[in-house]
Amino acid sequence: MQRIILFTGKGGVGKTSVSAATGISCAMEGKKTLIISTDPAHSLRDAFLIDTSPEPVKVMENLDVQEISTTDAIKKYWDKLKIYLTALMRSQGVEGIAAEEIATLPGFDEASQLLYILYYMEKGDYDVIIMDTAPTGESLKLLSFPEALSWYMERIFPISRKTAKVVRPFVKPFLNIPLPDDNVFQSIEELYSRMRDVRKILTDEKITTIRLVSNPDTMSFNETKRAYTYLMMYGYNVDSIIVNKIYSETSGNFLAKWRESQAIILRNIEESFSDIKILKVFMNDIEPTGNNLLMEMGKEIYGDLKPWDILSDLQPPVEFISKKDKSFIKMKFPFVSKEKLELHNRGGELIVQVENWRRVFFLPQSLSEKTPSNAEFNNGFLLIEMI
């Protein structure tokens, strides 16, 4: 069984170091492991003290490392789409568009990174794939991309495809906008179906778990809580939180106040994340770089645990419940206050919005005519009554 472990958290908390340490621990125990960095500010090379490339590079027995380049991925996967987009841009007076520029279009980064995951899962060379991601906001964008795309595809794409077929002969001479031909549609459709496959893999609790990396300080802890909420909302499985850079008793007088505030936040983390595994790592007196120090870090993080195991009992993020004549939707939804939550039923879709993040749930037939009447938070779960 292949495993994907994705690390997310605020910038600088130690995602790359923990990813590298996890990778080494897996490789040492005989698991064929790949660490992929999707953060454009790649730093796996600095953790391992090696030169990397957009292709996998061998670090040691059983361990490869790859720093993905979106430009590279676009060249590989997006030729047809690129040709169309280039034609479209030209028609609008934009000349000489290059892969680098297409890479800035929304969604391309995410799509090409996710395609890599699918590629490695299908190829099956690795037992464990570790994802070292960009800071929280970016990785949430990555993880919500398949859903966002499916929303777009279900609504806009079928229509525009039909329209294109019918109107192409008329529209072209008048508007001077090239319409995508069937080739392009085909590659968009293919992309769509591949994104559905990716989402299936990433939300399968037997394959993919997400690990939050935080430091015991207010800012990264708050960001971690928000990330946890949104990950639950998107149906992802979080199996642990790694609290990194804890100051030990030996860290001296200068850090005494820090140690006090870290202790308070650690208690808070223990209460807030009591349902998942909490792993702790001390601040090292030097940067954990190079195989030996990363190996030590791996031992410190996991102890007797197997890093590739699923580290806590996972509950299904969303359940549809019928009780007598009442229907409920129950979802894990920690750290949200009722005021921040918005719910609507729009023709069979339940829209759940918290601040900037929204998710559309396609309701089962039995609920599609009902509207949310009441919502209650209880123990980190949201219970929505549908009438």
- Residue 220 engages Mg ion in binding (rule: CB under 5 A): no
- Residue 291 engages ligand ADP in binding (rule: CB under 6 A): no
Shortest distance (Å) from residue 355 CB to Mg ion: 25
Mask for 270-289, x = binds ligand ADP (CB under 6 A): -----------x-xx--xxx
Comparing CB distances to ligand ADP, the nearer of 150 and 284 is: 284
Of ligand ADP, Mg ion, none, which one sits near residue 203, judging by CB under 5 to 8 A according to partner kind?
A: none
Alpha carbon distance 79, 77 (integer Å): 6
Type of residue found at 60? M
Residue of the chain from 14, 23, 146, 317 that contacts ligand ADP (CB under 6 A): 14
- Residue 16 engages Mg ion in binding (rule: CB under 5 A): yes
Of Mg ion, ligand ADP, none, which one sits near residue 244, judging by CB under 5 to 8 A according to partner kind?
A: ligand ADP
Shortest distance (Å) from residue 17 CB to ligand ADP: 3
- Residue 244 engages ligand ADP in binding (rule: CB under 6 A): yes
- Residue 17 engages ligand ADP in binding (rule: CB under 6 A): yes
Of Mg ion, ligand ADP, none, which one sits near residue 216, judging by CB under 5 to 8 A according to partner kind?
A: none
Of ligand ADP, Mg ion, none, which one sits near residue 245, judging by CB under 5 to 8 A according to partner kind?
A: ligand ADP
The residue count for binding ligand ADP (CB under 6 A) is: 17
Of ligand ADP, Mg ion, none, which one sits near residue 14, judging by CB under 5 to 8 A according to partner kind?
A: ligand ADP
- Residue 133 engages Mg ion in binding (rule: CB under 5 A): no
Point out which span in 8-16, 92-100, 169-177, 223-231 binds ligand ADP (CB under 6 A).
Answer: 8-16
Tell me which residues in 37-56 interact with Mg ion (CB under 5 A).
Answer: 43
Shortest distance (Å) from residue 128 CB to ligand ADP: 19
Shortest distance (Å) from residue 300 CB to ligand ADP: 8
Binding site for ligand ADP (CB under 6 A): 9, 11-17, 43, 244-245, 281, 283-284, 287-289
